[in-house]
Amino acid sequence: MRGGRQAVLTGATGGIGAAIAAALAPRCATLVLVARDRGRLDSLAATLAQHGPALRVVVVAADLSTATGRAAVAGAARALPGGIDLLVNNAGIGDFAWFEAEAEADIERVIVTNLLAPVLLTRTLLPLMHRGAPRGGSSVINVGSILGDIGNPGNVAYSTSKYGLRGFSEALRRELHGSGVQVQYLAPRATRTPLNSAAQDALNAELGTGNDNPQVVAQALLDLVDGGRAEMHLGWPERFFVRLNRLLPSVVDRALGRRATVVRRHASMNEGER
Ligand SMILES: NC(=O)c1ccc[n+]([C@@H]2O[C@H](COP(=O)([O-])OP(=O)(O)OC[C@H]3O[C@@H](n4cnc5c(N)ncnc54)[C@H](OP(=O)(O)O)[C@@H]3O)[C@@H](O)[C@H]2O)c1
């Protein structure tokens, strides 16, 4: 990845976000870090200061699910001279729940945070990305999930949001073809971060689901920026199941449908935690 970039990273203080911030820091001239909790943003900015005065860190404490929050990010990005080269839409929330027991407000929060917020933030920041593009191309990277390719029991609202984000990435990539702004989609598999509740972790352990460290996702993001691929899915056998689900969805229906009882047992434990 070429150095000297100006990047906006949402969800910067989370497990994956902090790993991405650390990976981007040596390669960026400016990093705009976004999350709601200012204290955690300030701590992260302090740890990134070790990269020296060549890195300018701007923190924006903003709730991206609100128009005011997105406007605050846009204001900070507009204040940077020369536009932005990289937007990483990484902020997201999980909600491991049995769909019929999931509160309407929780479903709405998942879809607004994981889908509507990155869609609207991208639209607001695109003029600044076009300004950055002449420096060698700019990128929007949307952090989705393997569950954006494989609808999963217990994660119906979450899968819905990530399928939407993948569709958004594909459609916008095609619309911006040849513009100098590329749109890429990164789909991690389960990753060890606070996003996963104890019940989700227990389900993953019972099912033997692979779990990555956030640094694996951060490295994949650098590879995506360098390689220019449209999409990257992490993990094996997850990549195989993504292909199988496209070719023979009824096979995956049966395999995941058989697990629904186990999922429901763990999801009902989660109701106590929420
Ligand atoms: N962990 C996994 O197993 C996994 C697997 C596949 C994909 N992913 C995806 O990876 C991305 C990062 O997840 P993670 O595991 O790092 O989660 P995390 O540790 O829970 O971090 C989430 C980050 O998003 C921020 N955030 C949440 N809601 C926000 C809002 N309304 N406005 C602004 N910032 C908000 C949080 O900070 P504040 O709370 O301070 O706002 C935090 O910085 C997400 O898109 C997630 O869906 C995760």
CATH number at residue 15: 3.40.50.720
For 182, the enclosing helix (H) or strand (E) is: strand 181-187
**Which residue is associated with the tokens 């199941």?**
241
Ligand 1 and 270: CB distance under 6 A: no
Ligand 1 and 196: CB distance under 6 A: yes
Q: What is the pLDDT of residues 187-201, one digit of tens each?
A: 999 999 999 999 999
Q: What is the pLDDT of residue 54?
A: 87
Among candidate residues 252, 265, 227, 55, the one with its CA nearest the CA of residue 151: 252
Ligand 1 and 38: CB distance under 6 A: no
In this structure, which amino acid lies at residue 176? L
CA of 143 to the centre of ligand 1 (A): 10
Q: How remote is the C-alpha of 273 from its chain's centroid? A: 24
Q: What is the pLDDT of residue 272?
A: 61
Atom of ligand 1 nearest to the CA of 10: 34
- Show the domain range for 81: 5-273
pTM over 0.85: yes
Which is catalytic among the residues 158, 163, 185, 241?
158
Is the torsion defined by CA of 143, 146, 150, 153 positive or negative? negative
185 is catalytic: no
Among candidate residues 98, 115, 138, 193, the one with its CA nearest the CA of residue 6: 138
Q: Specify the range with the lowest mean pLDDT, choosing from 46-50, 120-124, 143-147, 211-215.
A: 46-50
**Which residue is associated with the tokens 């119906």?**
156
- Report the domain count for the chain: 1
> Over the chain, what is the mean pLDDT?
95
Q: What is the pLDDT of residues 229-267, one digit of tens each?
A: 999 999 999 999 999 999 999 999 999 999 999 999 999
Instruction: List Cβ neighbours of 250 (8 Å cut-off, separation of 6 or more).
Output: none
Does the pLDDT value for residue 273 go beyond 90?
no
Nearest CA to ligand 1 atom 23: 11
